[in-house]
C-alpha cells in the first residue's frame, strides 16, 4: 500500500472511531436538544471545585485562567467580552467607581440551584476566601482594603489607597467565581482544605447542572428554574455534552463531521473545513482575534536555566517563523520578544523599535555567540555545550499537555531549534492534569503555558503573572503565577506604578520599562499569539452562532460568550 493510501486509511479509521465515539456519548440524549462541545476536558473529571488550585473539570473550570471561567454552573459578577474588551453584567447588574470605592449592585432575582437566595454575603465570602486560602486571586487583597455587604444586594469594595490598582480589582469582578457560603463554609468548618474539596455534586447559580460524568463524557443539564430566566430567558440546549477526546485530532475530526457543534481546540488549516459547515469568528485569515501569548516558562531555579544568558541563547535559537507557519497555520505572526500584544487593545503600548533594540529574534548564530563568547561554553563530544563550571546545557524537558497539537508542534520546533545550536531540549507531553500539577508546584524545566489574555485590566495581569515574585511560594508549593519562580527587585515598584497610572503616556513608559527587564532577564519566552479562545462551530445541527458579521456575543464559549446559548437554534 502506498504512503498516501496508508495515510488516508488512518484518517478514515480515526474518523470512524471519532464518529462512533461521539454517537456512543450522545446515546439517550435527543440531538435536537443537545449541544456537543469539545476542547476543554481531556481526561476523567476528578473535581468540580471552582477554587481548587488544580484543574477543575468542565463545565465548572476554575480561576487559574480567565478563559476557564465557564459560567455554566458557577457564575461571576461580571463577564469579559474579548471582542469589545469590556465587562458585561451577570450576577451583578453593574458597578460604579467613585474615588477609591467600587459599588456593585446584585441581580435581585439571583439564587442558588438549591433554591436559596444568592446574596451579597456570598460575594463577600467568595472574595475573602482569597485571604484564608492560597487561591489564584489571593493577590487581590494587596489592592483591596475591604469588601463589605451593606445590604443583601450591594457589595462595596474599598481600594487600598497605598497600593492603587483599580483596573485589576475591576477585572476580578469577571474572574472570581461566586460560591455558596452555606456549602463552602461547612467544608471549612470540617477543617478540610478547600483545595482538597472535590465538590462532585456542585451547587452553583448558573443555568446548567452537572448531570453525569465518567472517563468518556461529561453531561450538563439545563436548570429550568434558573434565576436568570426572568432576565434573559433560558438557554436553547437542554443538554450540553462534552465527549472526552484524548487529543485535538479526534475532536477536530468529530467537528468536521458535524458530530461536535462547538469547539475550542486548535485546527490546522481551518479554511479547508468551510465546505463541511465549519465556521469561525472571522471568515478569512487570520480567522481568530489575537488575545493571548503562550509563554515557554523557564524554571529559573534549575542549574543552568538560572542564568539569563542561557535563557537568552535558548530564546535566540527558536525558529519563530516556523512555529507560526506550522504549529499555528499562520493564525499568528512570528512572536516578538515582548509581553505586549502587537495588535488590538495593546497596540499603542507595543514598540517594535524597543523590541528590536532590547529583545531577540530567530538567530542561531547569535545563540552560539552567547554560548561561546559570553558564557565561554565548550561543546562536548555529543555536540551539547557545557558551561565552565561543568553544567551541561540539558537534557531539559519541554512540557505541554498531551494532545494539544499546536503546543506539541511548537515545542517540537523548540527542541529541534535548541539541539541545532547545541542545547539539549526534549519534548515531554504528559496528561493535562499532570502538566497542571507540575506547573503549579514548579516540577518542570521549561513548560508552555497560556499567559493572561486580553482583559479589562489591560496587560498588567500578564506582566504580574510572569514577573512578580512577591506572592510566589517556594518549589513544591502551589503557585498561581510566576511558575518559574523568577525574581527581580526592580519589577514590583514598576508594577505598582503601572497599576496606578492613568495617562496613556505614563502607561507606555512604565510597560516599556517592564518589557525591557523582561527582555534582559528572559524569565519566559513568547512562542506564538493565540486567540482568547479557539472559537469554532459546525452548523450541521445548530445554527445562529455569533460571528464578526453578527457579533451579538463574543468569539468565546466562556465568560460573555454564554450569550450564544440563548440565540442558537436547532435545525
Query: Residue ranges of the alpha helices (H) in 274-421?
Result: 308-317, 320-322, 352-358, 364-369, 405-421
Pairing, β 542-543 against β 569-570: antiparallel
Residues pairing with 443 in the sheet = none
pLDDT for the residue 256: 96
d(CA 438, CA 108): 42
Averages of pLDDT over runs of 10 residues in the chain (571 residues) are 45 48 68 96 91 83 58 95 91 96 98 98 96 86 96 98 92 94 94 86 97 97 98 97 92 96 92 94 89 95 98 98 94 94 88 96 98 98 97 98 93 98 98 93 96 86 94 91 97 94 93 98 96 92 96 90 96 93
pTM value > 0.75: yes
pLDDT for the residue 25: 56
- Report residue 279 as a C-alpha cell: 465556521
d(CA 563, CA 284): 24
Whether the CB-CB separation of 22 and 258 falls below 8 Å is answered with: no
Whether the CB-CB separation of 291 and 82 falls below 8 Å is answered with: yes
For residues 169-184, b (16+ Cβ closer than 10 Å) or e, as one string?
bbbbbbbbbbbbbebb
- Count CB-CB contacts under 10 A for residue 30: 10
pLDDT for the residue 82: 87
d(CA 508, CA 490): 17
pLDDT for the residue 62: 57
Domains of the chain and CATH, by start = 3-39+207-288+533-570 (3.40.190.10), 66-196 (3.90.76.10), 290-531 (3.10.105.10)
d(CA 486, CA 300): 6
pLDDT for the residue 64: 43
- Report residue 22 as a C-alpha cell: 461521539
pLDDT for the residue 137: 87
Would you call 278 helix, strand, or coil by DSSP?
A: strand
Contacts of 497-500 with C-beta under 8 Å, sequence gap 24+, read 498/460, 498/463, 499/143, 499/163, 499/164, 499/165, 499/167, 499/168, 499/460, 500/164, 500/165
Amino acid at each position: 500500500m502506498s504512503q498516501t493510501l496508508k495515510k488516508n486509511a488512518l484518517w478514515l479509521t480515526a474518523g470512524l472511531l471519532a464518529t462512533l465515539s461521539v454517537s456512543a456519548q450522545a446515546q439517550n440524549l435527543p440531538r435536537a436538544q443537545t449541544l456537543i462541545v469539545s476542547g476543554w476536558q481531556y481526561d476523567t473529571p476528578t473535581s468540580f471545585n471552582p477554587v481548587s488550585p488544580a484543574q477543575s473539570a468542565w463545565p465548572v473550570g476554575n480561576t487559574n485562567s480567565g478563559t476557564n471561567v465557564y459560567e455554566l454552573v458557577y457564575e461571576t459578577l461580571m463577564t469579559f467580552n474579548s471582542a469589545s474588551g469590556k465587562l458585561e453584567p451577570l450576577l451583578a447588574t453593574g458597578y460604579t467607581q467613585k474615588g477609591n470605592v467600587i459599588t456593585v449592585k446584585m441581580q435581585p432575582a439571583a439564587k442558588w440551584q438549591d433554591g436559596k437566595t444568592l446574596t451579597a454575603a456570598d460575594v463577600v465570602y467568595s472574595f475573602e476566601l482569597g485571604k484564608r486560602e492560597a487561591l489564584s486571586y489571593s493577590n487581590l487583597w494587596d489592592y483591596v482594603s475591604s469588601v463589605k455587604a451593606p445590604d443583601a444586594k450591594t457589595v462595596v469594595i474599598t481600594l487600598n489607597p497605598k497600593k492603587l490598582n483599580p483596573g485589576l480589582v475591576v477585572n476580578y469582578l469577571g474572574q472570581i467565581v461566586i460560591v455558596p457560603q452555606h456549602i463552602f463554609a461547612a467544608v471549612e468548618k470540617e477543617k478540610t482544605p478547600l483545595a482538597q474539596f472535590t465538590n462532585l455534586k456542585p451547587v452553583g447559580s448558573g443555568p446548567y447542572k452537572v448531570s453525569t460524568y465518567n472517563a468518556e463524557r461529561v453531561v450538563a443539564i439545563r436548570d429550568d428554574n434558573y434565576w436568570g430566566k426572568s432576565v434573559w430567558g433560558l438557554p436553547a440546549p437542554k443538554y450540553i455534552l462534552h465527549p472526552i477526546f484524548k487529543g485535538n485530532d479526534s475532536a477536530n475530526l468529530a467537528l468536521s463531521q458535524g458530530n461536535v457543534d462547538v469547539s475550542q481546540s486548535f485546527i490546522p488549516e481551518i479554511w479547508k473545513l468551510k465546505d463541511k459547515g465549519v465556521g469561525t469568528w472571522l471568515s478569512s485569515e487570520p480567522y481568530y482575534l489575537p488575545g493571548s501569548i503562550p509563554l515557554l516558562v523557564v524554571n529559573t531555579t534549575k542549574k543552568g536555566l538560572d542564568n539569563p544568558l542561557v535563557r537568552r541563547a535558548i530564546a535566540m535559537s527558536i525558529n519563530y517563523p516556523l512555529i507560526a507557519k506550522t504549529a499555528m497555520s499562520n493564525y499568528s505572526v512570528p512572536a516578538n520578544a515582548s509581553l505586549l500584544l502587537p495588535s488590538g487593545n495593546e497596540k499603542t503600548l507595543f514598540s517594535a523599535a524597543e523590541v528590536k533594540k532590547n529583545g531577540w529574534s530567530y538567530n542561531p548564530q547569535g545563540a552560539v555567540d552567547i554560548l561561546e563568547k559570553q558564557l565561554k561554553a565548550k561543546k562536548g563530544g555529543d555536540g551539547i555545550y557545557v558551561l565552565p563550571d561543568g553544567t551541561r546545557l540539558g537534557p531539559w524537558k519541554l512540557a505541554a499537555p498531551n494532545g494539544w497539537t499546536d503546543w506539541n508542534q511548537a515545542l517540537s520546533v523548540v527542541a529541534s531549534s535548541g539541539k541545532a545550536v547545541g542545547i539539549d531540549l526534549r519534548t515531554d507531553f504528559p496528561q493535562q492534569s499532570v502538566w497542571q500539577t507540575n506547573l503549579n508546584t514548579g516540577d518542570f524545566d521549561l513548560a508552555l503555558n497560556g499567559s493572561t489574555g486580553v482583559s479589562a485590566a489591560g496587560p498588567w495581569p500578564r506582566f504580574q503573572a510572569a514577573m512578580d515574585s512577591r506572592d510566589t511560594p517556594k518549589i513544591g508549593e502551589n503557585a498561581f503565577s510566576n511558575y518559574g519562580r523568577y525574581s527581580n527587585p526592580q519589577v514590583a515598584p514598576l508594577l505598582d506604578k503601572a497599576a496606578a497610572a492613568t495617562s496613556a503616556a505614563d502607561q507606555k513608559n512604565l510597560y516599556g520599562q517592564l518589557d525591557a527587564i523582561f527582555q534582559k532577564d528572559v524569565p519566559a519566552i513568547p512562542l506564538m499569539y493565540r486567540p482568547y479562545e479557539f472559537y469554532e462551530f459546525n452548523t450541521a445541527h445548530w445554527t445562529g452562532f455569533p460571528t464578526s458579521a453578527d457579533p451579538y456575543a463574543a468569539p468565546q464559549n466562556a465568560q460573555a460568550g454564554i450569550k450564544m446559548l440563548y440565540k442558537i437554534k436547532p435545525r
